[in-house]
Amino acid sequence: MRIACAAFAVLLAAVPALAQNVKITPIGSHKGELCANDRAIIFEDPTGVRFLYDPAHNVTGGNDPRLGAIHLVLLSHMHGDHVGDLKLKAPGEGSCANSARVPAPNSTIAEVVAAKNAVAVTTRAMAGFVHNKVDAIHGSGAKPMDFCPTLSVNVPVPEACSSRIDLGGVFTARAQGAQQGVEFTTVYSSHVNDVAPSLLTKPQQDLLKADGAQLGYGPPIGFVVKFTNGLVAYLSSDTGVFGDMKTVISDYHKANLAVVNLGPNPGLFQSGAYAINDLLKPASVIFTHVNEAATEGGKLKPNTQTAALMKQVTAPAYLAISERTMEFDGKGKCVSGC
């Protein structure tokens, strides 16, 4: 009896610990790899709030079976590889360096928001675009998509809506019956916010082309997400290094996990070690958006830019391997799946 009680006590001690982790599951083009076009990541709070960060070119559409329940979709900026001007033809098709994709004229974010009746968490400027595309999917006669009535919602919401915040704004989503919500703050991103031209109307495309111009939708954004177990994740989006990584994101928000986009344009292959080691100082790092086939057989290829940067980063750094679920505790430590 005493042994049984002791075993039960051990079990009781173990169960809440497991339940208090945030689950992080990247969904990319090739299962078990980190590929060139991979960006999309699913997060699940212990209370059950689930959201998708930048659908990108990584979903086959709003009903991609890998998505499951999605309560919110985060949109960082309007570049085609984030808002989703293309969608995945099928997981595993094409190569890891160049996944097979087909056009998504309504954008993958609108496809997911419409299919899941989700909240689009983004700036008001970008929400305007999402509203129009979701309305196009719903067809004429349907009630137009609008901002959510409040900055704090219970999920799932009854109908798709968007967050009505701008740079620095805070939006909260709470699971039914939960004591506490998941808090999303939009933060600066040292990047541009030009929309993929193919997502615009033909007259708009022609006007822009005549002047060699790009159409921007206000500032691009990153996110700080405060989960109910204490994990504070900084989702960098595409960004160069900037001073607020220390002041706002580390000192003020106390982010303990940094999910960092790499790739050649913002220069983080060069400045990433300084940004992470000296400014952000997280407990752990996840790398995505590497713009190269970073792995083969699930293992990091040594002759890649990603491998070169990993060597310089002092915190434990993990790759956003497609369809592998990592679990993080409230202190930013990976406790499973890394």
Binding site for Zn ion (CB under 5 A): 79, 81, 238
Beta strands at 257-261 and 152-155: parallel, antiparallel or unpaired: unpaired
- From residue 45, give the alpha-carbon distance in Å to each of 153, 160, 166, 226: 15, 20, 24, 10
Q: Which two tokens stand for residue 68?
A: 């499951």
Q: Between residues 239 and 256, which has the closer beta carbon with respect to Zn ion? A: 239
**Least CB distance from residue 191 to Zn ion, whole Å?**
6
**Least CB distance from residue 195 to Zn ion, whole Å?**
11
DSSP 226-253: E-TTS-EEEE--S----THIIIIIIIIT
**Least CB distance from residue 251 to Zn ion, whole Å?**
26
Q: Between residues 74 and 182, which has the closer beta carbon with respect to Zn ion? A: 74
**Least CB distance from residue 337 to Zn ion, whole Å?**
25
**Least CB distance from residue 327 to Zn ion, whole Å?**
26
Q: Between residues 148 and 268, which has the closer beta carbon with respect to Zn ion? A: 268
**3-state percent helix, strand, coil for the chain, nearest multiple of 5:** 25, 25, 50
Q: Which candidate, 214, 200, 222, 202, places its Cα nearest to that of 289?
A: 222
Residue spans of alpha helices (H) in 45-178: 108-116, 124-138
Q: Which two tokens stand for residue 117?
A: 């009746």
Q: Between residues 197 and 337, which has the closer beta carbon with respect to Zn ion? A: 197
Number of helical (H) and strand (E) elements in the chain, helices listed first: 7, 21
Length of the chain: 338
Q: Between residues 37 and 304, which has the closer beta carbon with respect to Zn ion? A: 37
**Least CB distance from residue 107 to Zn ion, whole Å?**
14
Which residue bears the tokens 């822009």? 208
Q: Between residues 55 and 156, which has the closer beta carbon with respect to Zn ion? A: 55
